Structure 1
Amino acid sequence: MTKDEHEISELDLFDRKILEALSDDGRMSITDLAARVGLSKTPCQLRFKRLIVDGYIEGFKAVINPSKLNLEHIAFAEVKLSNTQEDALRAFNAAVKKIKEVEECHMIAGRFDYLLKIRTRDIRRYRHVLGERISNLPFVASTSTNVAMETVKENWSGSSYAS
């Protein structure tokens, strides 16, 4: 058993219930959380703090409505790099994190190297972000874009709210 597998197995039913409850409503009080998971307040608070310290809970944030901010255009850019050695990957990773319109960036095993989820207000802004920012990232050889026609399910974090 790996260290990560061992840590996960150390979570009991109450820990898992706490994580599930907070993923539904991160603003609930400790009193409400304790009632929901079937613990008294003090043990629930101790578990909550331990889950934070142990890294199971990384933080809390507001879920922003992107349509209220006129940020409904979503595109997925496939990015192929000219170099996939570790130094090139590190340079790309560091640079892509600085582009606020990029909500997600995943290294992919397949015909391209990275898949980026990009949120902007419209196609014109997307073209600007693609042409001026993404295409100029370190080691980008080519890109290909897929535009979302409809979002069926999404957990949006609000990371690109100022586009």
Structure 2
Amino acid sequence: MRVYKTSGQGLDRIDRRILDLLQQNGRLTMTELADAVGLTVTPCIERVRRLERERIITGYHARVAPQALDAGLLVFVEISMSSKSERTFDDFRREILGIPQVLECHLVSGDFDYMVKARIKEISQYRNLLGNILLRLPGVTQTKSCVVMEEVKETLFIPAQK
């Protein structure tokens, strides 16, 4: 069984500084990171390994320009389900995980059930994504879409400093 740490209560000032710095640049060397937080290399490495082991740090990623991969069009889709049963939600979850254009999918409260974030090349591909894929998912009865005209801010950075 994996234990996921869900609160930052056990994080001290140095842990939080490490998290901020690694979110800004995951390619920092341990020497650079240690210097930036005021530690020697060995204790810094031990802290990073603990943060990884406790699943506070969940991975390191390259940010890729969507346009370089023909995925410059960003859309958000609100999805309403026919039923609120666990089986309906499970069937939907299982299917949505296999759709490569879907970057994020969140079960939400409010007037609809799921919020989907997807990237595609152009509007004609969106028509296919909506009509031939999303609307055919188990339990889906209605969708409402928003096509992004300008991306003002997009970040994965979560401030760790209090």
Taking structure 2 as the reference length, what is the TM-score of the superposition? 0.89
| Alignment deviations for residues 136-155 of structure 1 (CA, whole Å, 9 cap, x no partner) | 11100111111111000113
The CA RMSD over aligned residues, in Å, is: 1.8
* Uncovered stretches (5+) of structure 1, i.e. residues with no partner: 157-163
- The code of the aligned residue for 1:113 comes to D
Q: Secondary structure of 1:15's match?
A: helix
The alignment status of 1:90 with 2:86, answered yes or no, reads: no
Name 1:133's counterpart in structure 2.
133
- The code of the aligned residue for 1:125 comes to Q
CA contact (8 A) 2:5 2:55 kept: no
* Uncovered stretches (5+) of structure 2, i.e. residues with no partner: 157-162
CA contact (8 A) 2:5 2:54 kept: no
Name 1:145's counterpart in structure 2.
145
After superposition, the Cα gap between the structure-2 partners of 1:42 and 1:5, relative to the gap in structure 1 and judged at 3 Å, is closer
In structure 2, distance between residues paired with 1:5 and 1:133: 35
* Percentage of identical aligned residues: 37
| Alignment deviations for residues 95-148 of structure 1 (CA, whole Å, 9 cap, x no partner) | 111111011111111111111111100000111111111111110011111111
After superposition, the Cα gap between the structure-2 partners of 1:141 and 1:22, relative to the gap in structure 1 and judged at 3 Å, is same
Q: Secondary structure of 1:77's match?
A: strand
Give the superposition deviation at 1:85. 1.0
May I ask how many residue pairs the two structures share in their alignment? 154
Residue correspondence of structure 1 range 1-163 to structure 2 within 5 A: 8-155=8-155
Give the superposition deviation at 1:22. 0.4
Q: Secondary structure of 1:87's match?
A: helix
Give the superposition deviation at 1:69. 2.3
- The code of the aligned residue for 1:108 comes to V
- The code of the aligned residue for 2:145 comes to T
Q: Secondary structure of 2:125's match?
A: helix
| Alignment deviations for residues 71-112 of structure 1 (CA, whole Å, 9 cap, x no partner) | 211111110000111111111112111111011111111111
| Alignment deviations for residues 50-89 of structure 1 (CA, whole Å, 9 cap, x no partner) | 0000000111111001122232111111100001111111
Taking structure 1 as the reference length, what is the TM-score of the superposition? 0.89
In structure 2, distance between residues paired with 1:136 and 1:118: 16
